[in-house]
Structure 1
């Protein structure tokens, strides 16, 4: 499916930033959401192509089915392409022709919030408490969006990084599925001996998986780019230990020497053609590469050298803007839309994880054992780029989409320097572009 492919593409705007319920339930709670305003105009909802075109068709139908309470306007739906989307949003917001509500880049809300353009979602949270949806959120998914001023956005899907393996290759290599770092190295060597890639990753054009691997291994070891209060801390011992281990995978040929140039298409081909046995990738990998054999399986999370378990997550979100026919109308529509999300997973249009427990229990979702395992074992230990803290901000966007992390990843994958030197350069690169 294209959903996971666009999951990465959506981050293309970040480098630019571095440089410069059911409907009846809504009717009951929507009326108390802020002041009603004039009710003139239309609540414009801009959405991205998160999956195949069938996704946008379904999301448009949900939007058009919205029946606002008296005095509130209806909602309109528009698909915004990922290509140059940050410029599209920026120009429209500046000219006051932009949306009232949108999905978008993972950290877009925090960047526009800094510009004073985001309407906080606290009233929506209160409404979800009243209709019971607040208690339906998976543990911790709201934490990242709580700022000192309020909730910057609402999460609606989780883009998790998961360890996958191809069972037939492990059987052929006589290897055990890794449970920790030493067994990962040994399994990788065994897979290499039968002529396949022991750990699949990449850092070619448009491919952020190598970057995500570096951060995922840091947080899997109890480290992270930032301190709990958001200060840069790349040179801590846990990070050094993690990158030294990745370098060991490189030096042993477990990570392909050509990985530095692998695109997402290259990685997909390796998984699809049984040329790799293990790696960190997106949820829904079998569906992504069209493998229906059941041979590609979600492995359990790895245990780090000090007993830590963690994986990386990008909580994609829906945000509201201050330019709206009325704030109450935006809030009412958002409450409605959150209540309709289940239909997207019931139609199997999404490969990312939903944010609501009730959706994870639907037969259309829970019928896939990989989904069940990921929700049970990965989601509770997932952490964002903000780890060791929890709250996101615009600095996370600069980290995720800037050149410093790309250069760091490529340096490690090519084995050009030692872990401490690479981390020192990485920290210097970030210090020059983030806000203290």
Structure 2
């Protein structure tokens, strides 16, 4: 897995998450009971399993932070172990089943929900109360903690953000004398003008291994006050707002604002179109400018556009840390987690992590603020961002199945290919997701 490439690594993490959804549903975790069992860290330390959230320098820095931890009282020290994304689902599943798993870990974005359903996750409620006492709780960005509340308590604590936001190429807009749109109506006008000049104003791809197209579809629904779920957390794809959003996407396709070949674009194809100057605007990851190697101020984050009813919004994913019931000491797990969040800002100070922080104090660091586009994303887009659970507020293991399954990708390809009207496409999406 390549982490020097932000778009590719983000898409791959989402893809691996799909494997997680399938594997977790098939794997019987026969030994996920309460603490007291052995762990990979042994009885004299707690095991912290971490993923490669950046280049090799990230893991070096994360290990150094872990090894610098000096526990107080009877709390145990922590032992760092790197877990590769390749086959990570099987690694976690087999280790948890044999009581040789971690006490604390990062992992797939929906991993905590999956293992919580199987009784392996230690609730983070007491830890969050400690965060309140220590003044950390109020440091979290708005809306980042709440999605982790499950039926039996909080299943995890957010660590970094990933979002799908609009970008544009400034030189093209300047050259064509265009103003950045602030509404969908303005966007249609701008997109039509760009299409007449040979540019695409809706950079999207739905080819093999490319989930950005599916993310974009959900983002457009959210932008119009819709989403996959209703306010009662029931699957509800076929709504007037969703139909209106997909009608608009199909209108963009009909106007030539979307490349007809986008239905088969891989992430490499999409990147090439951006680099070649064919795409003037589109939804992408928070690190698009870095991914393209263009941090000179030409690839810029756009401002949110209001839908027909004045709604704004985008799609976000919340990476997180979780604790497991099989730990030598729950108090030690919580003490290490407290230490980690008190010190993990070093990762952004050292500039070894491409993700977006969830603590305002880290966002405010001068080292992070130097990345003007990511700082702008957190300032402008994060307050209006919603998860796959929109318009509801309950994220659970079912969301992992949706994110990892093929229903959304097939829906996206149908929409881009003009294979069905919006209502029919959404009706099939509803049935396909129900089948999951």
Same-fold status (TM-score > 0.5): yes
Question: Is 1:297 aligned to residue 300 of structure 2?
Answer: yes
Aligned to 2:150, what secondary structure does the other structure show?
coil
Aligned to 1:358, what secondary structure does the other structure show?
helix
For 1:54 and 1:47, the matched residues in 2 are separated by: 13
Of 219, 225, 230, the residue aligned with 2:228 is 225
For 1:271 and 1:128, the matched residues in 2 are separated by: 42
Question: Is 1:402 aligned to residue 405 of structure 2?
Answer: yes
For 2:132 and 2:328, the matched residues in 1 are separated by: 25
Aligned to 1:339, what secondary structure does the other structure show?
helix
Within 5 Å, which residues of 2 pair with 1:7-406? 7-16=10-19, 17-18=21-22, 20=26, 40-406=43-409
For 1:286 and 1:263, the matched residues in 2 are separated by: 18
Query: Which range moved further: 217-226 or 287-296?
Result: 287-296
For 2:36 and 2:365, the matched residues in 1 are separated by: 35
- 1:350-390: CA deviation from partner (whole Å, max 9, x where unpaired): 33221111111111112333233222211111100001112
For 1:85 and 1:42, the matched residues in 2 are separated by: 22
Aligned to 1:159, what secondary structure does the other structure show?
strand
Q: 1:42 to 1:180 in 2, by over 3 A?
A: same
Contact 1:37 1:327 (C-alpha < 8 Å) held by counterparts: no
Query: Which range moved further: 37-46 or 422-431?
Result: 37-46
For 1:274 and 1:48, the matched residues in 2 are separated by: 34
For 2:142 and 2:376, the matched residues in 1 are separated by: 16
For 1:186 and 1:304, the matched residues in 2 are separated by: 14
For 2:87 and 2:36, the matched residues in 1 are separated by: 34
For 2:330 and 2:299, the matched residues in 1 are separated by: 46
Contact 2:53 2:354 (C-alpha < 8 Å) held by counterparts: no
Superposed displacement of residue 4, structure 1: 4.2
Q: Output the aligned Cα RMSD.
A: 1.9
Superposed displacement of residue 74, structure 1: 1.8
For 2:216 and 2:292, the matched residues in 1 are separated by: 20
Structure 1 residue aligned with 2:29: none
Aligned to 2:161, what secondary structure does the other structure show?
strand
Superposed displacement of residue 420, structure 1: 0.6
- 1:372-409: CA deviation from partner (whole Å, max 9, x where unpaired): 32222111111000011122111111111111111101
Structure 2 residue aligned with 1:29: none
What is the count of residue pairs matched by the alignment? 419
Query: Which range moved further: 238-247 or 79-88?
Result: 79-88
Structure 1 residue aligned with 2:30: none
Contact 1:3 1:350 (C-alpha < 8 Å) held by counterparts: no
Superposed displacement of residue 3, structure 1: 4.2
Superposed displacement of residue 311, structure 1: 0.8
Aligned to 2:204, what secondary structure does the other structure show?
coil
- 1:75-123: CA deviation from partner (whole Å, max 9, x where unpaired): 1112222222212211111111211111111111001100001111112
For 2:59 and 2:309, the matched residues in 1 are separated by: 44
- 1:28-54: CA deviation from partner (whole Å, max 9, x where unpaired): xxxxxxx99999232111111111111
For 2:186 and 2:80, the matched residues in 1 are separated by: 49
Superposed displacement of residue 13, structure 1: 3.9
Aligned to 1:280, what secondary structure does the other structure show?
strand
Contact 1:36 1:72 (C-alpha < 8 Å) held by counterparts: no
5+ long unaligned stretches in structure 1 = 21-34
For 2:428 and 2:140, the matched residues in 1 are separated by: 39
Aligned to 2:8, what secondary structure does the other structure show?
helix
Question: Is 1:416 aligned to residue 419 of structure 2?
Answer: yes
Aligned to 1:71, what secondary structure does the other structure show?
coil
5+ long unaligned stretches in structure 2 = 27-34
Q: 1:3 to 1:123 in 2, by over 3 A?
A: farther
Superposed displacement of residue 125, structure 1: 0.5
